[in-house]
Every structure is written in structure tokens, then in C-alpha cells.
Amino acid sequence: MFVPRSLKVRRNANDDGRSCTAKKVKPEAEDPQLGAGGDGPADDASGTKEAALAAHHGAQPCPLPGPASQVPEGGLAGPGQRAQDSDLLEEPVKSFSKTQRQAEPGEPVCVVCGRYGEYICNETDEDVCSLECKAKHLLQVRGAEAPLAPGGPQKAGSEPAAPHPASYVYTEHAFISNLREDQIENLRRQLGIVVQGPGVPRPIIDFEHCGFPEALNLNLKTSGYEVPTPIQMQMVPLGLLGRDVLASADTGSGKTAAFLLPVIMRALFQSKMPSALILTPTRELAIQIERQAKELVSGLPRMRTALLVGGLPAPPQLHRLRQRVQVIIATPGRLLDIIKQGAVELGGIKIVVVDEDKKLFKPPVLVFVDCKLGADLLSEAVQKITGLKSTSVHSEKSQPERKNILKGLLEGDYEVVVSTGVLGRGLDLVSVKLVVNFDMPPSMDEYVHQVGRVGRLGQNGTAITFINNNSKRLFWDIAKRVKPTGSLLPPQLLNSPYLHDQRRKEQQKDKQMQNDLVTGANLMDIIRKHDKSNSQK
Ligand code: AMP
């Protein structure tokens, strides 16, 4: 697993042109081999490499950790190292131009796109806004020499120029092989790449290092992918080698292409169809992934994708599926429906359906609302927006209907059931692990029954309760009931004047009761008072 964390080079806001160079801050110790000057391979490709990293900004070294000697064994960044890094690097360098803001008047502007020139290209001293623009800028200044700088692609048993070789085996590019181990460690450290596991291949620095067919290289360029992002640098060679990978990186860091590129390469050279199945938790994500896949495979032979997601009509999806596709992008619910119908020949892909499907699903969620219409509307909205299989239960549904829904709930046919109070009592819904009180019920008694649908038979469960001023008369009761469970209560509830008022009233009542109670201490007073009032009569 690795967590990319790009490096940031900040322009001092007070700098003028000259002193700016002198005050440039460098986030990591300059590696003599990966940094400026020196012989050998690092130097040969410094252009491409630097374009990818934008991490060497030279004049003023910062008090920074030493190079490879301080990296824990195996190239994994240790916690001390990472804490130091995070002190130095408040924010990651922006990868893409579109994520940079516009320049304010008087601020430096990017020489490529005109946005805020937050960084300085160490090689040319020009202002750039992001890694993407730095790469473009370097390509521009180097003209034709730069794009293929590190050498041609390496394909097993074929000439690099071959349009579409019969097979593909990922071979480490000579440029990467020629780097020393400490250079690789330094590179990973600078890019925040942390790896675990045996025999992790070296990262690539340029897409050209992968030996992709020209059409794919072209598609990458057309999509604006000039240089790989850190997650792509490390994950693409792993994927191309067919290794199992568990990867984690920030949103927007290029994870999709990181797994799509190996998937595409495998699909290109495999005759079995389909050759890849991409499962995503939501329909939106699946659509997004398919869009990116289509961009990357444009012009490549025999590359077809199919989208299998809920919330859209199934027949066109099935039709597409039957036309022999290489890559399927699916949500689990729709895929399982299709598998159950026997409508898909998954060819090379082996799918193990565990215990008649149901264990592939997350436990269902039971949502309580306060009226029938609310139940119908919310269930519909959940299905539409999330693609989760949802239904509603209320008193207008017939008994057989309710029975069927309950059966479906227990068997994992529904991911969400929205109910009025009818499911609130008595039932043992052991598969439910989460109850949401979308509307707070009118009484504490009802509330206790509803949240009691989870955590049955000594199992753990979670309840999430939405409250608003409609249930303000229960605020103090809710706090009293929920607080002892260790649950977090929102400050809006704890600070509510209603809650304080209710607590005060309760305390007064308690005090009154205390006063009315006969104890050894007040017994004589009570008798005296009694005698006095009798004698007055
Ligand atoms: P992702 O994190 O996969 O959602 O990607 C975020 C965005 O970055 C998407 O719009 C991608 O098209 C784009 N992207 C991914 N990799 C690169 C790259 N190497 N260079 C430029 N853009 C990229």
C-alpha cells in the first residue's frame, strides 16, 4: 500500500524576482544523484523526471532529513519521517492546472496557462501553477527532444515501433533499471510513495517507460496526461506485472487511470472476453470510470466496454454485454441480477458467488420515517440517487406484500428499507446493522423500540437519529437516554435552550419530591406543622 503525497514548493509572498530565487524553499534534501548535475542515468533524464516530480527547486536548502540513509529498511517511510514531512509540507503540490486558482493582480502567473504561478520551475526559473503545467512547460522549452527522452518502449519480442504486437510483457525500462536503489528510495520518499510487500517493482517516471502501443500513448497525451501522477508511477508497473494491489491515494490523484492502464493492456492482449470486471460501489463512479476508459481506449483494436448499473434500464446494458466486450464496469447489485438471470457469459472472469449472493451485500439499512408518503418518497429517492435497492413498508401495503419485503430484507434482496413505525416493534431483524431514525418518533418509548431493531441477540449495531425542533420536547429525554451509551451528541442539542429548560424543570420537580419525602431529619418538622394547622382549625 502506498499513500502518494506530492511535494510543495512555495513562493515566498514577499519575494521580488531576484530574491525569490534566493528564497526558494526546497521541501526535501537534494539528492546529489536525482538532483542537479552529476553523471549517469538520473542526469540523462532529469528533464522528464523533473517534469514528473517538480521537486527540486534549488537555491536554498532547508533543514531536511538526509537522503536514503534515513529511510527505514525496505524503503518504507517511517512515522518520524512522515511527521517531519507533514510539518514541512502543509499542502500537496497541485497536480493539475484546473485545480489551481486564477492569479490575483500583481501575483505571478503560470507561463503555460495563465493561472496563479504558485511554483517556480527550477530548471527555467519560470512561474508555473502545477505539475501538469511544469511538464508542459518543459516539453515546450525542450522542443522535440523531450517527449521520448528516456528511450523507446521495451516490448518483449517486438520492435518498439510495431503498431500492435501479439503479446506484451512488462519489462523495466533501462532508464529505471540504471537508477541506484538509493535513488529509487529517494524518489519514492519525495513523492510520498510508501510501499509494502515482497518484490515491489520500481516506479516508472514517464508513461513512455511502459512500452504502451503508440495509440495508447497518443490517447494519454490527448487526455492531457503528460506525466504520471505518483500513484500511477508505482501502481502501473505493478498492474502490468499482474500483481495484486491494494492502493490508497487522495481523491483526484489519478487512481482511475492507475488501474485502467494495466486493465487495458491486459484486455488488449487477451483473447478471452471479457477480460476485466471493474466493480464500483456507486453508479456515478461506474459511469465516470467508463468515460475515462473510453477516452483511453479510443482507436485501440477490439476494445469495448459495458456498463452494468442499477437505476438505468437493464435491456440496453444486456444487449451491449452480449456484443462481446473486453471490460465490464458494474455495480454489484446490477451485476448479480444479471448473473442470476444467467444472461452473462463472463468468459475469463471467475466470479465466486458466496452463499447464494447475500454475503456480497452489505447488511441492509432500516430507515424509519413518520408517514406513509414520506416512506414511499424517501425509498424512491434513495434508489434514484444511490442506485441502492430500496423499498418502503407502511400500513397501506398488504400483509403478503409486507411479508415479502421482510423476507427480502432478511435475505439481502434490499439494501435499504424505509418504514413507518410498522416495523418498529418486536421483529427480530438480525441482518440489520444500521437503523436511521430519519424522523424522530413521537415518544421515547417508540424510539427505544426502533433503535432496538439493531444490536439484536447481543450483536453490535448502530443507530443514527435525525432530530429537529419538531421533537424539541424530547431533547432532554434523548440526551439522558443516549449519553450513557457513550454516543456523541451534537452541540446544537446539548446547548439547546429547550434541553436546559427541561432539565431545570426536572431538577425542580426532583427537589419538590425530595421536600415532600418523609425522612428522619424532617419528621419532627412535618409533625409540628401538622399540629399547628390542626390547632388553628
Ligand atoms: P482520478 O483521481 O482518477 O479521479 O483522476 C482525477 C482527474 O485527473 C481526472 O479528471 C483524470 O482525467 C485526471 N488525470 C489522471 N491522471 C492524470 C495525469 N497523469 N495527468 C493529467 N491528468 C490526469
Q: What is the model's pTM? A: 0.47
pLDDT in tens, 364-414: 889 999 999 999 999 999 988 888 889 999 989 888 898 888 888 877 788
Q: How far is the CA of 261 from the centre of ligand 1 (A)?
A: 12
DSSP letters spanning 432-472: --EEEESS--SSHHHHHHHHTTSSGGG---EEEE---GGGG
What kind and span of H or E run contains 48?
A: helix 46-53
pLDDT in tens, 214-260: 999 999 999 999 999 999 999 999 999 999 999 988 878 999 999 99
pLDDT at 69 over 90: no
The ligand 1 site (C-beta within 6 Å) comprises: 96, 132, 223-225, 228-229, 232, 252-257, 292
Beta carbons within 10 angstroms of residue 160's beta carbon:
14
pLDDT recorded at residue 474: 94
Angle between the N-to-C axes of helices 283-297 and 214-222, in degrees from 0 to 180, rounded to the nearest 10: 120
Give the position, in ligand 1's atom list, of the atom nearest the Cα of 228.
19
CA distance 423 to 454: 12
CA distance 169 to 215: 18
Nearest to 4 by CA among 248, 206, 198, 256: 248
pLDDT at 56 over 80: no
pLDDT at 419 over 60: yes
With vertex at residue 235, the alpha carbon angle to CA 83 and CA 254, rounded to the nearest 5 degrees, is 80
Q: How far is the CA of 253 from the centre of ligand 1 (A)?
A: 6
Start-to-end CA distance of the chain, whole Å, equals 89
Mean pLDDT (the chain) is 74
pLDDT at 505 over 50: yes
Q: Which of 45-49, 368-372, 493-497 has the lowest mean pLDDT?
A: 45-49
Q: How far is the CA of 95 from the centre of ligand 1 (A)?
A: 9
- Could you check whether the bond before residue 274 is cis, i.e. omega within 30 degrees of 0? yes
pLDDT in tens, 314-336: 888 888 888 778 899 998 888 88
Nearest protein Cα to ligand 1, atom 17:
225
Q: How far is the CA of 52 from the centre of ligand 1 (A)?
A: 14
Looking at residue 442, its amino acid is P
Please give the share of the chain, as a percent, with pLDDT higher than 70: 72
Is residue 426 very low, low, confident or very high in pLDDT (cuts 50, 70, 90)? Answer: low
CA distance 432 to 462: 9
Is residue 346 very low, low, confident or very high in pLDDT (cuts 50, 70, 90)? Answer: low
Specify the pairing of strand 119-120 against strand 127-128: antiparallel
